[in-house]
Amino acid sequence: MSKRIALVTGGTGGLGSAMCIALAEIGYQVVANYYTGLGEQAEEWQQQMYQRGHEFGLVEGDVANFDDCARMIEQVQAEFGSVDCLVNNAGITRDATIKKMTMEKWDAVIATNLNSMFYMTKHVVEGMMERGWGRIVNISSVNGQKGQFGQANYSAAKAGVHGFTMALAQETARKGVTVNTISPGYIGTDMVMAIPESVRQQIEMEIPVGRLGRPDEIGRTVAFLAHEDGGYITGNDFSINGGLFMH
Q: Which residues are catalytic?
A: 154
Q: How far apart are CA 48 and CA 50, in angstroms?
A: 5
Please list the residues that pair with 238 across neighbouring strands.
182
Please work out, in degrees rounded to the nearest 5, the angle formed at the alpha carbon of residue 105 by the alpha carbons of 125 and 138: 25
DSSP secondary structure, 78-132, as one string: HHT--EEEEEE-------B-TTT--HHHHHHHHIIIIIHHHHHHHTTHHHHHHHT
Three-state DSSP state, 245: coil
CB 235 within 8 A of CB 167: no
